Structure formats: C-alpha cells, structure tokens
Structure 1
Amino acid sequence: MYIKIVILLLTVSAVSGLPGLCDQTPRQAKVLTPSENNYFRLTIDTKNSSVYGLAQTYVLILESYEKVRPFRWFMITVEDASVDNNTMNFDYRSVDVGSLKTLDTNRLARYSERCYNSVENSDNSEKLRVEVHWVSPKENIQNKDQTVRLRAMVAENEEVWYVGDDLTLVLKKDDSKPLDQLPTTPLEKCYLCSEARYEVVFQGQWSRMLHPHQYPSKPDENEYSHMIGASHAYDYTLWKPDDNASPGLKTLAETANVTELEREIINAMSLEGGTRTLIRGKRRRHPYMSEPSDSIFRVDRIHHMFSVVVAIKPSPDWFLGVTRFELCTKLGWLEESTIPLYPWDAGVRDGISYESPTSVTTPVDAISRVAFGSFDKQSPFYQLNLNDMKPFAYLHVERLAVYPLKEDCEKEPTDEGDQEQENEAENLEEHIEEPVVQALSDNARNVCAVTKWSEWSQCMPYTGACGPGTQVRTRDKISNVNLHSQVDVEENPEVCRQSYNSGLTEFQECFVDCSDN
C-alpha cells in the first residue's frame, strides 16, 4: 500500500508540476542517464535570442546538426527560470511563462500529458526538424523581470537521449522602449503658466508593398476614416487598452463614421476638466491614403493631453491612434514628436482578416492589440510580431505657438535639489519668441472675450463621399484681453462659464452634391 501511494504522488507531480521540475526522461528509455556529445539543438527564430517581447509569438526549432542522425522522441517545456530541482512547493500555473502551441502541419507534436506547459512527439517516426510555437507572457505586475527557460529533450532510441546547454534557452524580458511608446509620461497636474497651440499630422503608410500578406483584394475600397480626437484633461479618456470601447468608438471602428464619437467629445467639453479642443482631420480614401490628414488644437494647464483615433477600412473593427499623449513637461510644452502607429482591435466584432466575414463579439472584449503573431494563415499578422511589422501610419505633433499667462499660476512643488531645473523652465517661458496674444498690456482687464469665428470647415458627409453631413466652426476664449485688440468682445458671461461648448463651437447641416464626385 505504501508503494502504491508513492507512485500515485509522483504521477500527480509529473502531470501538474507540483513540486519539482518536469522530468523529461523518455518513457521508453532503458538508460536513465542522458548521453554526452549532443548532436541536436534548440533555437528560437528571433533577432535577439536572449530576450523576448511581451505577448509575442515565436517559432522554436528543434533540429539535428547532421542529417544522418534523426531523432524519434522529444519533449519541450517552458518554465520559470528561477525554479530548479531544489525548489519545492511551487506551482507552474502561478507564474505566467507563456504557452506552447503545436502548429506544425505534419502533426509531429502534441500537448504532453506528463508535464504542465510541455509538448512532446506524437509518433515514433524519424525526425530531423520540428517547429513549435511559443506565445510569450503578458505583462506580469507581480514579477516584471520574468525570466523564462525553454528546455528540450531529444531521444534517438531507447538507450541514447540528450538534454543540456544546446537544448536549453534562457530568455529575459526585453526592456527596450516599445516602438510606439509615447515620449512623455502622463502628469496628473501641469504647472506651466501658459497655453500652447499644436498641429497634429496623420501620415498613412498602409500599402500592398509594406503590408502584403492578405492585403485587401479590392484596394479601391480602402480608406482611413477622419482623424478624430481632442485635447483634454487628465481625468478624461477617449480610449484606453484593456477598457471597453465607448459607443462612439464602437461606431467609428465598425463603420468609419465619426459623428457619434465627435458628439461624445463635444459633450465632455469643460473649463474644469474633460475636453477642450475637438481634433478633426480629413478622411483619406484610396488612392490618396498617403496624403496627410492634419488638425490644429490648443492645450492649457488643465487640458494638457491629447488623444486621436483613425479607423481602418476594410477591417472588422481595427483602428490606429494614440491615447493620453502628454504635452506638458518640466521644461515647457513639448516641441515636437513623431511616433509609428500599429493597429488596435476595438473588441466589438470578430474577424480574422481585412475582408473576412464578421460577427458581433459576445460578450464585448476590451480594446487590445490586433492578433499579432496570429496562428491563422488567413490573418494579415500570421506569425508576425510587432517588431517585425511596418507601421501603418506615423503621427507627428508639433508646437506652433506658446501664449504666456499673466494671471497667478499655481507653482509646482519642488525640492531644493530641483531648483536649478525649475529656474531653467521659468527662463524658457520668459524668452519664448513666438507671437503671443497682444492683449497683455497695462490697460488689460479680466473680461469675457473670444476670438473671431473661424471659417466653416469643409462639409463632412455622414457616410461615403457625398450626401448630407455637418460642418463646424470654432472660436477661443481669451482672458485679460486688451479691449482695443482685434477680437470680438462678448459681454455675455455664459460664453466663458462652465463649458467650452457654450458659445465656442457651432455646427450646421450641409450637403455634398453627389454629381460632383
């Protein structure tokens, strides 16, 4: 009875991974000690074989050095590199080390029943090469420096089998900056005593040459939607990874119609938070998708961030954009920056490719990257990781002007050691040579003043290239204005109270004649 209990415990340990490492000794082995002079190797198909990116797909290659030495049996295991045979009472499932996928077309591999996170041979045939896919871990909050070990065993026959350095890979998480990481970190408060005007330019790059796999068969139907977004406060979010898409973003991602998202932005306009400026750039259709789409917007110490989105069509619900792009820094307003853009999935429709049939995602998923490294050959991103992908667009933001404020501004609390940096920032603001509002004179007083109305924007059809649509015009509030300057002075205090949407933005219906297109 005692012997039977011991055997049962060892069996449970081998299957679940608690405790001890996976025992990769071949089931058929008559010799329990691995051989020396290994003729086999385990490699990973990546530019840097010592690091891995988060949530990426990699190809593991198990092969023979010599064609005259095939192997019959194998096992590959992925595990926490900090765990060894002397570590007791651990559970593989408590640490994210990614997962192995058996995708070889010859069906040479299967999921192991002996060990957790392992694959093994599915038959006894002679093999010279086997490919297995490994999906790397997602971000691990508890262990941000997760190191992973990939370990293989190869057996030529019942008496000759191998493990060791050539069959082991140890990978650390890649800490290099992501390709599309924003240049600044979001700040809860901005202490700059000024406002700024920016231009944002969306430059499309999506093309058959740069993105050939599963490129749409009818390129004449390709398009980028209007660029839509806002400058906004810290408390506002237009979209965010791992959050559900708003109704407006859902409509944009599904149909490329910006009307609902535009209304959401306008309804959130406020002096104390929310949004300030509506950002809207032109829609770009084939063959003019490489032409830029641009917009001008304003920021201030309350509304010091901006976010934008652009839908990709055709696609299930994919879009490009940036979220919570911080423009306020300790040295002043950010001068300029350019970042590449890669597709995001709104999580509202299922579909594997640009033109594949879609269905409503039930339940709705959170916003996430598109399925990079997909295991479906119909996907444009089949076995394609972010670092291997060409950008679908570039976004360039550039500061055009800075407008210092003469009102009392709350200063950023600093330590004595930060005094030099604070003085440098103040000196920068004092010597700005950009043209500023000429209302800052001795006879200026605090009145409710606004700039003249802008021209009506181009008519933007609700759908397609023609038909009914809307156009917009805007004006800005100016504080402490000189009554003799070239501005419209509005004595009605409602214009400056509570919301930027009160008297500063106007819409009107319009129509584009279809016969002109």
Structure 2
Amino acid sequence: MAMCKVWKVLGTLLVTVLGCVQCLPVDGEPLCTAGGRAKYSLIFNGKWSRLAFPKQYPLYRPPAQWSPLMVVTHSSDYHMWRIGEYASNGVREFAEKSEAWTLMREVEASGEKIQSVYGVFSAPDIPNGVEQTSTEFEVHARHSLMSFMVHIVPSPDWFVGGDSFDLCDGDKWKEQISLDLHPYDAGTDSGFTFSSPNFATIPQETITKITSSSPNHPANSFFYPRLKKLPPIAKVTLTKLKDSRLIGISAAQSNLIPMGNEIDDSVSETPLDCEVNTWSSWGLCMGKCTEMGTKHRTRYIRLNPANSGNPCPELEEEEPCVLHNCV
C-alpha cells in the first residue's frame, strides 16, 4: 500500500509538469504521421518459475517476485536506459532497490528541459515470479516511443525492460506487440547470485544483457552452460485500445491479474546439472600390515540436479596404498 501511494504522488507531480508540454513539437524530429493519440494496454506476464530457472531459485527472504513496473512514453530525445551505456542514478536505484524517486525526478527534468517526455505510468508489484500485472498508457504522434523497467527481486542490480519501442508504423498505430524479456545487468553491483549482499561495482560498468554464458562464472544465478540461450523470464503484451480518451497518470489505473488468466501459460523446463566441489586431499593409508592398505577422499554436492539434469557423480573414492608404519 505504501508503494502504491508513492507511485500515485509521483504520478501527480508529473501530470502537473508534463501536462503543459506534451503536445508541443520537437524541432527537427521526424514526426509520426499517425493521427493524434493512441491508448494501449500493457500486460506483464512473469515467467520466473523454479522449472525455468532452477539454479539458486529464491524461495524465501524474499521469495522470487517483481517490483512495480515503470513506463515512460517519450520522443527519441529521451532514453530511460540503453545497452552499452552507463545507468543513471535513477536507473541504478531502481535496478538495485526498486526505489523510483530519483528516476522520476530525472524523467521530470527531461520533460521540462527538452519536452521529450509525454507521460509516466506504472503497474503494481507482483508478489511472486509467475503472476501478471497490467496498466494502460498513452502515446502521441510526436512521442510515439515507450520504455519500461521492472526490477528482478531479489537481485543485485538485475532488471527486465524495453528501450524505446516505437508504437507508430508510418501513418498508423501498431495494433499488438508481444515481447519476450530477458535479464539485464545495470552494471552497478557485482553480486553473482540473486541473494548476494551489496557489492558496489567500482568503477561503474555499462548496462549489459545477461545470457546463459555471460557472466561466464559458475556461481552466477543465470549460468546454464548447456543452454544456447536463456528462456524468457517474462513477457509483455501491448494491445491498442479502441478508447483513446486521455487517461491520468496514476497507480490507480493499474491492476493485478490473478493466476489463471495468463495469456501464455507455457512453462519451460531448464535442466540443471549436479554440481560438486573439488576432491578433498587423500586421507591416511589405513589397513592391516599383512595386506595392502587403502586411502579415501571425498567431495560434496554444491547444487542438486533438477529437471532431468545430469545426476551427481560418486562422492567418495578410494585407492590402494602401501602401509609405511608396519614392522
């Protein structure tokens, strides 16, 4: 409830600032020739399940979930975030802690300075990895692009989102778009796992896409060397609505969709191979002086297999040895 109130207050502030500039032209920018405004629904479908992402899947403190979704409609002069560029302070705070105040102030400043932002919209957070949330938003012929972010909770600085999707197609608005979403690293925290403690990246790195082999480290929560690519961790569906009346910028416009109304309920099963640590050193040679002795070494399971992944190998090994203390 507190988070919803924060989003509502922030939205009200932006209505005041952006309401007077949203219809002004931007000099030198190619304009979409579609008529007037267009209203869209956005449905965010979480696909972050234990079957799809079994490695280190967070079950508690906190369990897998999603932050509120933040949508900005804008012109080509504005970018919320971009692969290969440094995250702003606002993007950093949102990607690390789901805190939106600084990001909203950055959006507000951009709207005032270069009239590049048309509106800001939000959808509620999702308390687990596989439910849905939705909102409605509006674009304008001069501000036909939309960008959005959702923080993966818990995670060091990982998020999903879209950068500058153009909803205008020449002289008409696109009717429907479906986007498979994959995780990104904001480049501000160096944690390897979902529940890693804060470990600031100094110097800050650029925003990168996380893949099944990058970061190339077995401790990483998304490291699945058997996969060519990760399955989508979420999906967004944008649908043009017939009713194009102006809508307000408020969290009250959003709603959480209960389980059972999924657009796409297919589930990917990602095989997870067993992982064991290295062998211990050999133990002492033991046995009777009249026979050959034996020595043992052991190793332990670091990660149990899942979804038909490779089973664990032997955890104990022995070999013959010569007893040295026999008389």
Normalising by structure 2, report the TM-score. 0.62
- Label 1:293 to 1:387 Cα distance change in 2 as closer, same or farther (>3 A): farther
Find the counterpart in structure 2 of residue 315 from structure 1. 155
Which residues of 2 match residues 68-147 of structure 1 at below 5 A? none
Hey, what's the Cα distance between the residues in 1 that align with 2:247 and 2:124? 23
Determine the structure 2 residue equivalent to 1:233. 75
- In structure 1, the partner of 2:220 is 379
Deviation at 1:381, TM superposition (A): 2.5
Distance of 1:216 and 1:366 partners within structure 2: 26
Q: For residues 338 and 458 of structure 1, do their structure 2 counterparts lie closer, same or farther at Cα, with a shift above 3 Å needed?
A: closer
- Tell me the equivalent position of 1:348: 188
Structure 2 residue identity aligned to 1:322 = G
Contact preservation (8 Å) 1:229, 1:238: no
- 1:189–1:270 Cα change, 3 Å: farther
- What is the CA–CA distance in structure 2 between the aligned matches of 1:245 and 1:211, rounded to whole Å? 26
Larger Rg over CA atoms: 1
Deviations 1:302-330 (A, max 9, x none): 11000000001111100000000001112
Partner-residue secondary structure (3-state), 2:111: coil
1:458 shift after superposition: 8.4
Counterpart check, 1:370 vs 2:165: no
Q: Please, which of 64, 72, 82 is the counterpart of residue 222 of structure 1?
A: 64
Q: 2:116 maps to what in 1?
A: 274
2:252 to 434, 454, 457: 457
3-state DSSP of counterpart to 2:91: helix
- Change in 2 beyond 3 A, CA 1:302/1:386: farther
Q: Alpha-carbon deviation of 1:254?
A: 1.0
Tell me which amino acid in the other structure corresponds to 2:147. S
* CA-to-aligned-CA distance 1:313-356 (integer Å, 9 cap, x gap): 11110000000000111251010111110000000000111123
Pairwise CA distance, 1:371: 5.3
Q: Report the AA paired with residue 379 of structure 1.
A: N
Q: In 1, are the aligned partners of 2:152 and 2:160 still within 8 Å (CA)?
A: yes
What residue in structure 1 maps to residue 306 of structure 2? none
Q: Which residue, out of 110, 114, 138, partners 1:298?
A: 138
| SS of equivalent residue, structure 1 residue 200 | strand
User: Which deviations, in whole Å up to 9, do the C-alpha atoms of 1:185-209 show, x marking residues without a partner?
Assistant: xx95312232211111111110111
Q: Residue type of the partner of 2:36?
A: S
CA distance in 1, matches of 2:125, 2:226: 28
Q: Is the 8 A contact 2:212 2:228 kept in 1?
A: no
Shift of 1:231: 0.5
| Residue identity in the other structure for 1:310 | V
CA contact (8 A) 2:178 2:238 kept: yes
Matches of 1:385 and 1:274, distance apart in 2:
43
Rate the CA distance shift 1:241–1:385 in 2: closer, same or farther, 3 A. Answer: farther
The alignment covers a number of residue pairs equal to 225
Name the CA distance, whole Å, in 2 between partners of 1:309 and 1:454.
17
Letter in 2 for 1:399: K
- The match for 1:87 is none
- Which amino acid letter does the alignment assign opposite residue 32 of structure 2? C
In structure 2, what is the Cα distance between the partners aligned to 1:265 and 1:381? 31
Supply the distance in 2 between the matched residues of 1:204 and 1:452 (Cα, whole angstroms).
Answer: 25
Q: Aligned letter for 1:367? A: I
Distance in 1 of aligned mates of 2:209 and 2:139: 28
Q: For 1:40-55, what aligned pairs fall within 5 Å after superposition?
A: none
Q: Which residue of 1 aligns with 2:50?
A: 208
One-letter amino acid of the structure 1 residue matched with residue 239 of structure 2:
E
User: 1:214 touches 1:378 (CA, 8 Å); kept in 2?
Assistant: no
Give, in whole Å, the separation in 2 of the partners of 1:340 and 1:213: 21
Residue from 236, 241, 252 that aligns with 1:395: 236
Q: Which residue of 2 aligns with 1:246?
A: 88
Q: 1:336 to 1:387 in 2, by over 3 A?
A: farther
* 2:261 corresponding residue in structure 1: none
CA distance in 2, matches of 1:436, 1:392: 31
Alpha-carbon distance, 1:267 to partner: 3.2
- Aligned-residue offset at 1:296: 1.3
Where 1:375 maps in the other structure, the secondary structure is coil
Shift of 1:453: 6.7
Q: Which residue of 1 aligns with 2:104?
A: 262
Asked whether the 8 Å contact 2:178–2:237 carries over to 1, the reply is yes
Q: State the SS of the aligned residue for 1:268.
A: helix
Q: Give deviations 1:64-96, integer Å, cap 9, x for gaps.
A: xxxxxxxxxxxxxxxxxxxxxxxxxxxxxxxxx
Partner of 2:264: none
Q: Which residue of 1 aligns with 2:41?
A: 199
Q: Tell me, in whole angstroms, the C-alpha distance in 2 between the residues paired with 1:214 and 1:364.
A: 26
Runs of at least 5 residues in structure 1 that lack an aligned partner in the other structure: 1-186, 402-434, 438-450, 460-517
What is the SS of the residue equivalent to 1:215?
A: coil
| d(CA) in 2 for partners of 1:386, 1:305 | 33
Q: 1:321 to 1:386 in 2, by over 3 A?
A: farther
The residue aligned with 2:267 is none
Q: TM-score, normalised by structure 1?
A: 0.40
* Distance in structure 2 (CA, Å) of the matches to 1:354 and 1:455: 30
Q: CA deviation at 1:384?
A: 3.9
Shift of 1:260: 2.0
CA displacement at 1:264 relative to structure 2:
2.2
Q: Which has the higher contact order (CA 8 A, sep 6+)?
A: 2
RMSD (Å) for aligned C-alpha atoms: 2.7
1:317 to 1:240, Cα distance in 2 relative to 1, 3 A: same
Q: Evaluate the alpha carbon distance shift between residue 219 and residue 393 of structure 1 in structure 2; reply closer, same or farther with a 3 A threshold.
A: farther
Residues 226 and 456 of structure 1, relative CA distance in 2, 3 Å threshold = closer
